[in-house]
A and B are shown apart, each in its own frame.
Chain A
Amino acid sequence: MNNIKVALAGQPNCGKSTIFNLVSGIEQHIANYPGVTVDKKIGYFKYENNKIQMVDLPGTYSFSSYSLEERVAKNFILDESPDVIVNVIDASNIKRNLYLTFQLLEIGIPVVVVLNMMDVAKRRDIEIDSKKISQMLNCPVVEASGAKGLGGKDIMKNIVATAKNKDNYQEFKINYDELEPHINNIEEKISNINLVQNSRWLAIKTLEGDSTVIERIKKYKSDIEDFTKKEENSFHERLDKDPVSFLASYRYDSADIIYHKAVKEKNKDNQTLTQKVDKIILNRFLAIPILLFFMFMVYQISIVWGYKITDYTWPILAAFKNLVIDILPEANFTDVPIITDFGIWMVNSANALMNYLPIFFILFALIAIMEDVGYMPRMAFILDRVFKKFGLHGQSTLPLVLGGAMVGGCAVPGVMSTKGIADDRARMATIFSVPYMNCLAKVPFYTLILGAFFKPDMAIMMFFISTVTLFIAMIVAKLITSTILKTRETAPFLMELPPYHTPTFKGVIIRASQRVWVYIKKVVTIVLAVAIILFAMLQFPGLSDESKVKFDNKSNQVLNSFDTKVKSSVYYEEFNTKEKVSALLNYYDTYRTKRMTATSQDAAKSVDEDFLLKNKTFYKYIKPKRDKEARKINKELRKLSSKRKAILRQIKNEKVENSILGMTGRAIEPLTQFAGFDWKINVAFLSSFAARESAVATLGSLYENNKADNMRAEEAMALNSGYTPLHATAIIIFMLLTPPCIATMIVVKMQTNSYKWMLFAIFFPIGLGVVLSSLVFTLGNIFSWSGFEAMTYFYISIVLLTVIIALFPQKSINWDGGIK
């Protein structure tokens, strides 16, 4: 077996990924390059008697060191010295693609050129003489079409043949005429150093001012920079040209020569389909409505319809939960084993996240389609001007929409989709802005609060809530780009608008699955770890001995009253001990939950059968039918069940109150009192960090009144909490600003590659939330605003601030140059 290491290189939009998918099959690995967030895709496969490892380098227009992608690609070539470089070229746009080919050829590693998208070229009546190109470039040229699945075998054959013949490889040289003597001088200067790379290539890179290469040479020749400078100056004096521009022009000229000799375009003047479509999609008046329509559709299909799919997937998760509950030890009346509590807690936390998988899968598939089609850069083109004002980028549109630019997105895919933003500063700012959007899981919380305190103004309040976040995100973006992100690398806005392409089914599915898998692997594991910590913080130190006795007495009372009521029954001996009653009660409760989750008649029937099989004696109390005695027991059981639930809830509340988390909630009360938050709200916010949904659950359970079992959480909260609508406004403002769940923070860590930034993404919004809600609450108290007034003033100030920032001229960009 021979091992062959292959690097796959090509310009963006040349169809590199489809070629990679074509030859590498489904088994590919996706990872980050160490220290950077650029994807590293590796495919392993066998061909004839060779083991091939193919690394998909990031798409680059060139091989200098001026972008993250270029640095990553070049470092791979420098450090890992692959056996063969496969250069994918868009056959319908050969001239520009050859610019990179020349740079790859100069490296000195054998190159196989793949002319991809031959089908597109044929459709456009472009005739390509690939033999001639092969001759001129002195390397194998393979015709292929990744989208149509053509050419895979040919590529493999040529890779193997080229790798075998590696030692006889003939170097390719462009003759740079006037620059040649300078290249030779530098080559001579570095000829005796110990670098494996081709010295001519190193010399050319040095003249190009390539920092990565210069750093490496410096280790051996510390004066290389001065030496090159002299060469540059003498060249400049002679011809009034810079080597960098000269090299680029020369490569373009050489590409032009090849293009003219080997390519014939018959229908040059005909409008391509892309041009026709662009006339509509990028039309001054239609572009924005069309974009809004697409965004609405993405939102509708993934979030709204995807949420409907969870109706079908949720029973699977519920069944899993039931399975776990079945395995766990049962409760002995109000004495619930800690392992059971823990098991249910963990399954609930996992299910809350797994529930989003269908949504994510659809969302990622739609993003992949939009990327493949070529709409992404057009979206940036249309809206760049708006976002630029706030330090963001046209490419920030999609992440913000996915995060929930209106109401109900999810920050996880939003943050994940920031990957493609070329401008690093804008990318970082987008990552930190997306979590301000309103996620799906925050909606129940708003509904609860609005239902409790803002019944008459619900619609307008919801409008405030759903739109104010976008303004806040803009202000925050502006704030951090002009402060802590000020020195971050920015990229000039120079983007290709690639021709439209039909996406391949395989490519879309592979990419969507890969992203979902990343989510499952990274997020779920860490979220579960956090869930364990939260569980511990809610459990310990637990009830005091005093309370234990108190609750024991309560349960005994309840049990005794049940006992006296049923003593006269003929079946009495079937439940004459506490254990027997517990068993019966558990049987009764499980039956009710299972019946509730059964969606069809058949399912309900099978639940009945199961329970009949499980315990025939108990079954008659569940379905007493005509048995009068059993009916009486059934009635008492129902009462007993609700009384047990009430006691369990009291125990839980007291446990939470005394727990570490409860104490933390109390400990920060002095700080949060300015916003009007008591410890209960604090605990709800703290516990909702694992998943936003649990904010409602926690608040609901904290405010539930024991007597009022049929009272809804909204009413209970309005009545029992002692809050005014002004409190509610402060709570809403805090919720608007607080970071979403831990899952989002994990993806922030993934995308920024730093725990420091993750912590910033957690604590900055919390700080901002505390400050703003305190401000609104305090001012509201001073001027005795109603909750609605306070929210209105808050909204107006935020909108005004956004407009003022937008009117301010931006600071100039941080790169040099300009016509003065």
Chain B
Amino acid sequence: MNLEINSLAILKKGQKAKIKKLHAKGKLLHKLLDMGFVSNAQIEVIREAPLFDPMQLKLHNYNLTIRRSEANLVEIEEL
């Protein structure tokens, strides 16, 4: 693994980031795009679920939840 690449999955509560690239393909890629995971969009981690997975994000001014396994495919740049 390239250590310089950060994925959304490593973010903690309250952290903000900018989306750089999606490493998903096919169905997941489409779903991510449809939900607003486009480059340069800003993401804020609102909280983690009581059992630590999935996580709740704020994106384009709305809330959504994503499992860490999927968040792993979103490359980000920390702000």
> Interface of A with B (CB < 8 Å)?
61-62, 64, 66-67, 93, 95-96, 99, 244-245, 248-249, 252, 274, 278, 282-285, 287-288, 377, 380-386, 388, 491-499, 812-813, 815-820
Contacts and interface: CB of A to CB of B under 8 A. Distances in A.
Nearest to A288: B50
Q: For chain B, which range describes its interface: under 10, 10 to 19, 20 to 34, or 35 or more residues?
A: 35 or more
B73 A494 contact: no
Contacts of A499: 63
Contacts of B27: 66, 491-492, 815
Contacts of B73: 817-819
B34 A493 contact: no
Given A245-B38, A381-B65, A819-B1, A494 B31 contact: yes
A95 B75 CA distance: 23
Contact of A494 (B49, B53, B66): B66
B39 A245 contact: yes
A96 B62 contact: yes
A96 B58 CA distance: 12
B31 to A, nearest CB: 5
B54 to A, nearest CB: 6
A385 B33 contact: no
29 contacts: A62-B34, A66-B34, A67-B31, A244-B30, A245-B33, A248-B38, A252-B38, A284-B50, A285-B50, A381-B54, A381-B65, A388-B67, A491-B27, A491-B31, A492-B70, A493-B66, A494-B35, A494-B65, A494-B66, A496-B35, A497-B65, A815-B25, A815-B27, A815-B28, A817-B22, A817-B24, A817-B28, A818-B73, A819-B73
B50 A384 contact: no
B71 to A, nearest CB: 10
A385 B31 contact: no
A245 B62 CA distance: 20
A251 to B, nearest CB: 8
B51 to A, nearest CB: 4
A381 B53 CA distance: 8
Interface in B8-43: 22-36, 38-41
Nearest to A61: B34
Contact of B30 (A66, A380, A497, A498): A66
Contacts of B5: 819
B50 A492 contact: no
Nearest to B38: A249
Interface of B: 1-2, 5, 7, 22-36, 38-41, 46-54, 56, 60-67, 69-70, 72-73, 75
A499 B26 CA distance: 29
Nearest to A394: B54
Contact of A248 (B33, B51, B62, B67): B33
Given A815-B26, A817-B24, A252 B36 contact: yes
Contacts of A61: 34-35
Nearest to B39: A249
Nearest to B6: A819
Contacts of B52: 385
B50 A66 contact: no
A492 B72 contact: no
B34 A99 contact: yes
Contacts of A492: 27-28, 31-32, 66-67, 70
A242 B67 CA distance: 25
Given A385-B49, A815-B28, A817-B29, A497 B63 contact: yes
A377 to B, nearest CB: 7
A278 B48 CA distance: 12
A259 to B, nearest CB: 9
B4 to A, nearest CB: 11
Contact of A816 (B26, B40, B63): B26
B26 A385 contact: no
Contact of B72 (A248, A381, A819): A819
Given A284-B50, A285-B50, A494-B35, 12 more contacts: A95-B61, A96-B60, A282-B47, A377-B65, A384-B49, A384-B53, A384-B54, A385-B52, A495-B65, A497-B65, A815-B25, A817-B28
B42 to A, nearest CB: 12
B49 A493 contact: no
A678 to B, nearest CB: 47
A816 B30 CA distance: 12
Residue of B30, B48, B69 with most chain A CB atoms under a 10 A cut-off: B30
A811 to B, nearest CB: 11
Contacts of A386: 51
B23 A819 contact: yes
A14 to B, nearest CB: 11
CB-based closest 7 A-B pairs: A248-B33, A817-B24, A62-B34, A816-B25, A497-B63, A385-B51, A249-B38
Contact of A245 (B22, B28, B60, B75): B22
A382 B53 CA distance: 8
Contact of A493 (B30, B54, B72): B54
B36 A99 contact: yes
Contacts of A384: 49, 53-54, 67
A453 B22 CA distance: 62
A180 B69 CA distance: 35
Nearest to A289: B50
A149 B77 CA distance: 45
B67 to A, nearest CB: 4
Nearest to B55: A381
